[in-house]
Amino acid sequence: MFCRNCGNAMDPNQAVCLTCGTPAGAGSAFCPNCGNPVAPSAVVCVSCGVALQQKPAVGGKSKIAAGLLAIFLGQLGIHNFYLGYTKKAVIQLLVTILLSWTFVAPTAIWIWAIVEAVQIFQGKITDANGMALSD
């Protein structure tokens, strides 16, 4: 296996390239199978034919933190503030506060937040910059 960022050989058990410090699978400049340079947008390596899967880059936001915020403070949109989805967060916050005298609206927002919590734990939701959440 080769580092996708610098093309140096690396042990399959290594989590990080010892040459450039890039996490295994991150980067798009080299084929992980044969180590030849590939185009960043290539889906298949033209040298060896292996499929090039682009692992989403992992950002600094935590899956656990986002998920717990969604479960406990999701009605106030706190998890979306955390992830950077400010517009969505404000909608959840305002609907919950302004329509708190109704039963339906806060419940709907709560269900919405729980659905998002599940998606966060399943890794289906990234932060607002498109970075995957860390485990």
Residues interacting with Zn ion, by CB under 5 A?
3, 5-6, 17, 19-20, 22, 31, 33-34, 45, 47-48
Complex with Zn ion: residue 33 or 54, whichever CB lies closer: 33
Complex with Zn ion: residue 28 or 33, whichever CB lies closer: 33
Complex with Zn ion: residue 2 or 85, whichever CB lies closer: 2
Complex with Zn ion: residue 1 or 128, whichever CB lies closer: 1
Q: Which of 76, 70, 79 is nearest to 100 (CA)?
A: 76
Question: Shortest approach of Zn ion to residue 13 CB, angstroms?
Answer: 15
Rounded Cα distance between 74 and 78, Å, is 6
Question: Shortest approach of Zn ion to residue 15 CB, angstroms?
Answer: 12
CB 9 within 8 A of CB 18: no
Question: Shortest approach of Zn ion to residue 1 CB, angstroms?
Answer: 11
Question: Shortest approach of Zn ion to residue 43 CB, angstroms?
Answer: 12
Alpha-carbon distance values, 76 to 89, 117, 128, 129 (Å)? 7, 13, 18, 21
